[in-house]
């Protein structure tokens, strides 16, 4: 009798154990289940509150583990320059991101959050990260394979900090250099921009051969979510005014500004970010025809559409004049995740009210959440939600800095080299008695990197992050017996009286980002023109222009012996000296037209009034002392 009782007790315990495990098993947590089964299973369990939380992206300054848990927040971001602390280490970033993530995982359903950051030329908000040339420089390389490698390196440096989402690439086609974001565009020619979408498989990984069109793809923990931006027409605004109106026919929009999105979607881009700008007076954040009908339905994009920073606020003029309407218009237009990013309770309450009053249909909410969850499942976030320290050594690694140096030397465009081809100044001799290095940008790492570096608007000085200035690169490249004299803005008498063998003048624009960079005059920052006049009038000189776009140089060209467009090269100044001194040959080609005067603008290759100082695609070549 006792034996039977023991047997029955054991059987009951086994039955309970099986039942408990069956109760614990849920399909959405099982990676062996098909993607759509996991999505449906999870969505069937979600409340409206949980769904709206997934659609909300908030700034790290207002985030905490408690907030993540209470509001079911789907995503957190760092705005430009928003960091855990000054000069934060990779470990500091990981600890912060994981703290937010633990809040998300402690919710009823344990849906992990995504952390996003503007890694637009390397993981550029982060101290000690490798800063690659901005996109305009990469466009000058004409090298999609190089750009793909840069995407892969950037992904590793982003993941090194525990972050899974890069707001890149910008695939704008800048049609007017007066635009403050022109350096974020690879070219005025959509074909070059299309070729440079090869950065997407670098960031996300190579999409599987049998993957259906438009389905997002992220290949695990060493890759990141990419974001094609800013949809669509952001580079075509009137007079290049940021966030302004792009006046163009539908044919023009589809043939110039849209093609790179075809490539991005084909390569499995996970997200698309909407532009602040308007198309023929219609705000893109409220454009149902282009977001839902064209991008989602016609192009079969299956990832999620995200707003820009406070992008829905700008639907009204002035911004935030009617926030309820902004929520209504943007969500119905097809935006899935809203970069709120600060006053998130107002957004959550407003969207909840609009859904409950049937102003926004539930199927629109479900479409948004389905897309967000699809990206989270595809990238393996449910299986590996927390970051570890295994990639911290990737931040600013020697390998990545070597790659950035290669990108710099391939991006430089030689516009002039001596008064005639038989007497070139470049390559410069390394062994001469004395050379002068002058100009505001010669010894300023912040200026060299430009905007979107450490802070949103960029920084000045050499203590901002780790890297090599052009001056330091010159000193380490020339012969040990060559005296290098640096004077930022020497006067005429000083230049005359010092018997320099030649001079290198490095001048250009000071850092800027977005609207702060809009410019109607496109001049070199003072005292740059004065430095050129004083130096190049007296001694053979190479002038290196550090800028995010073509600038006014026609008045100085005759005095300059050799002229180099170096764009915004980033942290690796040795890439500049690699070609100046002939270790490698110049090979860059202009990614955009170099105008004579701003009165000609806008002026792009193919225009009837095309009369440039240097045409699109121009670039002199030099031979290297060693194989390229």
Structure tokens at 24: 């614990």
Asked if the peptide bond before residue 230 counts as cis, ω within 30 degrees of 0, the response is yes
Structure tokens at 475: 């000193």
Which is the catalytic residue, given 50, 308, 406, 578? 308
Residue 274 near residue 305 (C-beta atoms within 8 A): yes
Q: Mapping DSSP to helix (H, G, I), strand (E, B) and coil, where does residue 294 land? A: helix
Asked if the peptide bond before residue 427 counts as cis, ω within 30 degrees of 0, the response is yes
Q: What is the DSSP string of 182-247?
A: GGGSS-SSHHHHHHGGGHHHHHH-PPPTTPPTT-----STT--B-EEEEETTGGG-GGG-TT-EE-
Which is the catalytic residue, given 143, 509, 514, 578? 514
Q: What is the DSSP string of 453-471?
A: BSBTT---SSSSSS-B-HH
Residue 240 near residue 184 (C-beta atoms within 8 A): no
* Cβ-Cβ contacts under 8 Å for 386 (sequence gap 6 or more): 98, 101, 102, 105
From residue 512, give the alpha-carbon distance in Å to each of 161, 448, 460, 561. Answer: 25, 12, 11, 29
DSSP one-letter code for 172 = -
Asked if 514 is an active-site residue, the reply is yes
β-pairing verdict for 434-438 and 483-486: parallel
CA distance 476 to 437: 13
Query: Could you write out the three-class secondary structure of 411-444?
Result: HCEEEEECCCCCCCCCCCCCCCCEEEEECCCCCC
Asked if 22 is an active-site residue, the reply is no
Residue 308 near residue 273 (C-beta atoms within 8 A): yes
Q: Mapping DSSP to helix (H, G, I), strand (E, B) and coil, where does residue 165 land? A: strand
Catalytic residues: 308, 514
């Amino acid at each position: 009798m006792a034996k039977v009782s023991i047997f029955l007790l054991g059987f009951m315990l086994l039955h309970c154990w099986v039942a408990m495990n069956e109760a614990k098993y849920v399909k959405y947590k099982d990676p062996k289940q098909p993607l759509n089964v996991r999505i449906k299973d999870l969505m069937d369990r979600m409340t409206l509150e949980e769904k709206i939380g997934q659609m909300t992206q908030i700034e790290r300054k207002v985030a905490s583990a408690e907030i993540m848990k209470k509001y079911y927040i789907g995503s957190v971001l760092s705005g430009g320059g928003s960091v855990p602390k000054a000069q934060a280490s990779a470990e500091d970033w990981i600890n912060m991101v994981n703290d937010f993530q633990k809040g998300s995982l402690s919710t009823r359903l344990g849906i992990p959050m995504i952390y996003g950051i503007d890694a637009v030329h390397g993981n550029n908000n982060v101290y000690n990260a490798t800063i690659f040339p901005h996109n305009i420089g990469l466009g000058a390389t004409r090298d999609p394979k190089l750009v793909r490698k840069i995407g892969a390196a950037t992904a590793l440096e982003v993941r090194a900090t525990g972050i899974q989402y890069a707001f890149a690439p910008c695939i704008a086609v800048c049609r007017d250099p007066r635009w403050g974001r022109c350096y974020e565009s690879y070219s005025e020619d959509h074909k070059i921009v299309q070729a440079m979408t090869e950065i997407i498989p670098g960031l996300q990984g190579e999409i599987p051969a049998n993957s259906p069109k438009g389905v997002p793809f992220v290949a695990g923990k060493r890759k990141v979510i990419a974001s094609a931006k800013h949809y669509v027409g952001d580079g075509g605004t009137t007079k290049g005014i940021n966030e302004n109106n792009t006046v163009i026919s539908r044919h023009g929009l589809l043939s110039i500004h849209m093609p790179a999105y075809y490539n991005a979607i084909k390569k499995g881009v996970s997200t698309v970010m909407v532009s602040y700008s308007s198309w023929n007076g219609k705000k893109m954040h409220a454009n149902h025809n282009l977001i839902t009908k064209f991008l989602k339905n016609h192009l079969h994009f299956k990832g999620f559409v995200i707003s820009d920073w406070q992008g829905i606020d700008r639907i009204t003029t002035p911004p935030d004049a009617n926030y309820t309407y902004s929520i209504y218009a943007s969500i119905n237009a097809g935006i899935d995740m809203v970069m709120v990013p600060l006053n998130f309770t107002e957004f959550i309450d407003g969207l909840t009210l609009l859904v409950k009053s049937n102003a926004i249909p539930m199927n629109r909410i479900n479409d948004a959440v389905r897309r967000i969850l699809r990206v989270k499942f595809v990238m393996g976030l449910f299986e590996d939600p927390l970051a570890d320290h295994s990639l911290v050594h990737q931040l600013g690694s020697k390998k990545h800095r070597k790659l950035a140096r290669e990108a710099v030397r391939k991006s430089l465009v030689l516009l002039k080299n001596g008064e005639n081809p038989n007497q070139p100044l470049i390559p410069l001799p390394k062994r001469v008695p004395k050379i002068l290095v002058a100009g505001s940008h010669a010894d300023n790492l912040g200026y060299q990197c430009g905007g979107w570096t450490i802070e949103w608007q960029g920084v000045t000085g050499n203590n901002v992050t780790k890297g090599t200035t052009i001056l330091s690169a010159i000193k380490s490249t020339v012969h040990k017996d060559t005296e290098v004299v640096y004077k930022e803005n020497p006067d005429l008498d000083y230049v005359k009286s010092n018997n320099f063998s030649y001079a290198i003048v490095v001048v250009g624009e000071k850092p800027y980002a977005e609207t702060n960079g809009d410019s109607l005059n496109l001049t070199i920052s003072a005292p740059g023109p004065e430095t050129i006049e004083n130096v190049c009038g007296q001694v053979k000189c190479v002038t290196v222009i550090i800028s995010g776009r073509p600038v006014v140089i026609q008045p100085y060209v005759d005095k300059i012996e050799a002229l180099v467009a170096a764009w915004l090269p980033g942290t690796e100044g040795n890439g500049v000296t690699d070609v100046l001194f002939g270790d490698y040959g110049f090979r860059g080609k202009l990614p955009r037209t170099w105008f004579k005067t701003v009165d000609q603008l806008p002026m792009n290759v193919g225009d009837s009034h095309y009369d440039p100082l240097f045409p699109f695609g121009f670039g002199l070549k030099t031979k290297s002392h060693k194989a390229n």
